[in-house]
Structure 1
Amino acid sequence: MTDQLPVEVTNLDRYDHDALPWDRAHAVLTSSSGADITWFLGTVRPDGRPHAAGVGAVWYDGALHFTTGPGARKTRNLQADPNCTISVRLDGIDLTLEGTAHRVTDAATVERVAAVYAELGWPATAEGDAITAPYSAPSAGPAPWHLYRFSMSVAFGVATAEPHGATRWRFA
């Protein structure tokens, strides 16, 4: 879980800046959801080629969650290999997150995450173990969409505002 403190912090900065504190990245990460932010999911195709796609992500219960259509390339890639990355430019810091993504099928969790999306302006609702809405990104395919929970193992941050720096955080 990313609500826990990192077990290892490595300063990657080459300009004598201090390592960035995880609480700075965590605060922006947990408060940055909405239609104006595009999160980029990186997966690996079965033949080893990379695949990247924008997703709408929200923070809920200590982790990022995102949706994707059952027939989408990213869904098929995650079914074959759950290892993935998520990258995003947030206020004052660029983040690249490494970890795994697994489908959420618990109807109660799907309902709560759909409510988070709805609070942010996307009229999402739960339909059993999936999410539906009148619209989504054109690349998402038709509803319903599967919900995925991203479990972070490593995060990289590069500050784009003072204090500057670049840091890697590893989590247990």
Structure 2
Amino acid sequence: MTNTTIETRNLDQYGNAALRWSQAQELLATESASKDVPFFLNTVRPDGRPHSAGIGAVWFSDALHFVSGPGTRKSRNLAENPACTVSVRLTGMDLVLEGDARRITDESTLDRVAARYRESGWPAQREGQAFTAPYTAPSGGPPPWYVYRVSLRAAHAVATVEPGGATRWTFS
């Protein structure tokens, strides 16, 4: 998110200070890719109905990345409409990311994302323009798996610990 303008809007109705985007980024960097931190991707079906699926995600190079098999509903939805949200409960913060998820095909970027997944314990390997591994989450579909990057338009967070707070960030 280098060279990005961030607008912060304090949504807290109790007088608490706005949450910091840097705090959300730090939590994403340290807690993503953990099997104990569930992420939920929300996409739109071609008929306009919502679709939600659990995903394993990593925060890498200032963006959220995830994998999905080409035949899965989420991949087919994103091929038609890249708009999505991703929800996650982090330590002390519930966070929703809004943006567009687009498939990554650049092999050097894929190699770096695969390395980040391996650091977290999932043995992903790049094979061409996708990933393979001995296993993945049941919602991932069969290999190979496409890799997606979420380009953020907005995010909002609610603190789940004192002193509290609620904030919306928009990115341009």
- TM-score normalized with structure 2 length: 0.94
Per-residue CA distance 1:18-75 (angstroms, 9 max, x = gap): 2112222221122222222111101000100000001111111111100000000000
The residue aligned with 1:62 is 62
Judged with a 3 Å threshold, the aligned counterparts in structure 2 of structure 1 residues 114 and 26 are, in CA distance, closer, same or farther, namely same
Unaligned runs of 5+ in 2: none
SS in 2 for 1:89: strand
Deviation of the 1:162 alpha carbon = 2.5
Q: Aligned partners of 1:21 and 1:62: how far apart in 2?
A: 15
Q: Which moved more, 1:34-43 or 1:94-103?
A: 34-43
The residue aligned with 1:97 is 97
Q: Aligned partners of 2:29 and 2:162: how far apart in 1?
A: 20
The residue aligned with 1:7 is 6
The residue aligned with 1:24 is 23
> How many residues of Structure 1 are paired with residues of Structure 2 in the alignment?
171
CA RMSD in angstroms, aligned pairs only:
1.3
Q: Aligned partners of 1:4 and 1:84: how far apart in 2?
A: 23
In 1, are the aligned partners of 2:18 and 2:166 still within 8 Å (CA)? yes
Q: Which moved more, 1:72-81 or 1:110-119?
A: 110-119
In 2, are the aligned partners of 1:42 and 1:51 still within 8 Å (CA)? yes
In 2, are the aligned partners of 1:69 and 1:141 still within 8 Å (CA)? yes
AA in 1 matched with 2:78: L
The residue aligned with 2:160 is 160
How many percent identity over aligned positions?
58
The residue aligned with 2:147 is 147
- TM-score normalized with structure 1 length: 0.94
AA in 1 matched with 2:149: R
Per-residue CA distance 1:84-127 (angstroms, 9 max, x = gap): 00100001101001000000011111111111111111111110
- Residues 118-133 of structure 1 mapped to structure 2, 5 A cutoff: 118-133=118-133
Q: Aligned partners of 1:40 and 1:62: how far apart in 2?
A: 19
Deviation of the 1:4 alpha carbon = 5.8
AA in 1 matched with 2:129: D
